[in-house]
Amino acid sequence: MLSVLIWAPIIASVIIGFWPNNAIQPNRLRLVSLTLSGLILLWNLFILFKFDLTNPGMQFQEYLPWNETLGLSYQLGVDGLSILMLILNSLLTWIAIYSSSKDTERPRLFYSMILLVSGGVAGAFLAENLLLFFLFYELELIPFYLLISIWGGEKRAYAGIKFLIYTAVSGALILATFLGMVWLTGSTSFAFDAVSTQTLSAGLQLLLLAGIILGFGIKIPLVPFHTWLPDAYVEASAPIAILLGGVLAKLGTYGLLRFGMGMFPNAWSTVAPTLAIWGAISAIYGAVVAIAQKDIKRMVAYSSIGHMGYVLLASAASTSLALVGAVSQMFSHGIILAILFHLVGVVEAKAGTRELDKLNGLMSPIRGIPLISALLVLSGMASAGIPGLTGFIAEFIVFQGSFSVFPIPTILCVVASGLTAVYFVILLNRTCFGRLDNDLAYYPKVLWSEKVPALILAVLIIFLGVQPTWLVRWSETTTTAMVAAITPAEKTVISQVALK
């Protein structure tokens, strides 16, 4: 059942990549991939509706022995932590393919790589074996490198290599930590439930946890390791940026939750205060740097750093409420970033620039691009945390859940959230409002097909904003169980420390 999510896109990607006829229309290929990813999305939704909300453990498990010598088995399962990420992955893949241009150059390679990435990400979220997770994690490396450096902007070669190296380093760190976790605990298998770090000394646990945090921190990204992000997001074309920011960043936070908190319940409490402060710094830094940007895509890219900071804060707090918030924030950041990148892509395609100084008055009903601007306003508000939209719900749960544990970092994050509103107001003010430049403003019409993905995402953002149960109900039991695993004694120690 779950295997379909991995193998359907991967097999399709191989078939598309090797499709013999060179003269095949890009449009035809796009339709094929679109249909396929739509079917996968439907299949994913079907799994979502079969998902048992009361079961905190893994569901729909699949197991096949693979390589006993390495302790590698093909073991899949889905729980509250991963189900939403899977939906996000297949939804954004569909949207990325939908919003790709109808006459993409080298379409076979393009769609083949997107589908490969989609299957790989699904595999990483589903894997119940450390080595299997790593395999899928590293599988992203080359396709994304190619996607950035072939179909990207002007400095794509630089951005691609930078992304590649950062991600490869992250992979090396993660692999080293996984090897350490398994070997030091004397386990013979890399399966999740076979690895228990409880028996290790506190120092070793901290060392391994540091490896996990650094490894995934590059991917999330946390502040000193984020420098690949602006380049990669900005140089990537809109559909790729959607996948990069919407899905790939979630691999980092998912890994942090699953392997950091899930596997080091003891050491996690020790590093939690540092992580909370780190998250707050990330959030503030992302917001402040975004204010200074002159390019709307860069602004959105830095907003992503800020929003991932909240996830870090919530995972550090690790109350059951905060964790639900973390998962919700991951999902809503995914869809908000996707709509933002899509809209920015449309604006760039129509207006021909991304500079804040050159754009003006896009809201103008006749000669501007009013619907796109309206949606841009909506998604800016969603990103800034305005009630009624999904961003607010997620952030509010995060803050509510974290305040009792880490009051000061939470307040810093609230401040950062305010700063987010600041730069989005700047962005909206400079682009949507004002007067159109009479000499330059002869924008091409926005086609319906370009509006559809944004409209779908906008509906989703509003729906989840007013009906948040549909956002939080999936992860509640799992996160409660995860919190329960962190020993109660340790928790009281933390809250005392934090109160002092």
Contact positions toward another protein, by CB under 8 A? 66-70, 109, 131, 134-136, 138-139, 141-142, 145-146, 149-150, 157, 160-161, 164-165, 168-169, 171-172, 175-176, 179-180, 183, 186, 188
> Toward another protein, which CB reaches closer, 128 or 476?
128
Residue 40 beta carbon to another protein: minimum distance, rounded to whole angstroms: 20
d(CA 157, CA 153): 9
Residue 176 beta carbon to another protein: minimum distance, rounded to whole angstroms: 6
> Toward another protein, which CB reaches closer, 171 or 217?
171
Residue 179 beta carbon to another protein: minimum distance, rounded to whole angstroms: 4
Residue 134 beta carbon to another protein: minimum distance, rounded to whole angstroms: 8
Residue 101 beta carbon to another protein: minimum distance, rounded to whole angstroms: 16
Residue 34 beta carbon to another protein: minimum distance, rounded to whole angstroms: 24
Residue 69 beta carbon to another protein: minimum distance, rounded to whole angstroms: 5
> Toward another protein, which CB reaches closer, 151 or 423?
151
d(CA 83, CA 89): 10
Q: Which amino acid is at 499?
A: L
Backbone angles phi, psi at 75, to 5 degrees: -130, 115
> Toward another protein, which CB reaches closer, 131 or 322?
131
> Toward another protein, which CB reaches closer, 69 or 201?
69
- How far does Cα 185 stand from its chain's mean position? 31
> Toward another protein, which CB reaches closer, 63 or 183?
183
> Toward another protein, which CB reaches closer, 55 or 196?
196
Residue 23 beta carbon to another protein: minimum distance, rounded to whole angstroms: 14
> Toward another protein, which CB reaches closer, 169 or 349?
169
SS (H, E, C) the chain: CCHHHHHHHHHHHHHHHCCCCCCCCHHHHHHHHHHHHHHHHHHHHHHHHHCCCCCCCCEEEEEEEEECCCCEEEEEEECHHHHHHHHHHHHHHHHHHHCCCCCCCCHHHHHHHHHHHHHHHHHHHHECEHHHHHHHHHHCHHHHHHHHHHCCCCCHHHHHHHHHHHHHHHHHHHHHHHHHHHHHCCCCCCEHHHCCHHHCCHHHHHHHHHHHHHHHHHHCCCHHHCCHHHHHHHHCCHHHHHHHHHHHHHHHHHHHHHHHHHHCHHHHHHHHHHHHHHHHHHHHHHHHHHHHCCEHHHHHHHHHHHHHHHHHHHHHHCCHHHHHHHHHHHHHHHHHHHHHHHHHHHHHHHHCCCECCCCCCCCCCCCCCHHHHHHHHHHHHHHHCCCCCHHHHHHHHHHHHHHCCCHHHHHHHHHHHHHHHHHHHHHHHHHCCCCCCCCCCCCCCCCHHHHHHHHHHHHHHHHHHHCCHHHHCCCHHHHHHHHHHCCHHHHHHHHHHHHC
Residue 359 beta carbon to another protein: minimum distance, rounded to whole angstroms: 29
Residue 33 beta carbon to another protein: minimum distance, rounded to whole angstroms: 20
Q: For residue 445, give the nearest of 344, 317, 341, 351 by alpha carbon.
A: 351
> Toward another protein, which CB reaches closer, 188 or 274?
188
> Toward another protein, which CB reaches closer, 164 or 242?
164
> Toward another protein, which CB reaches closer, 168 or 386?
168
Residue 112 beta carbon to another protein: minimum distance, rounded to whole angstroms: 12
- ∠ CA 42-44-49, rounded to 5°: 95
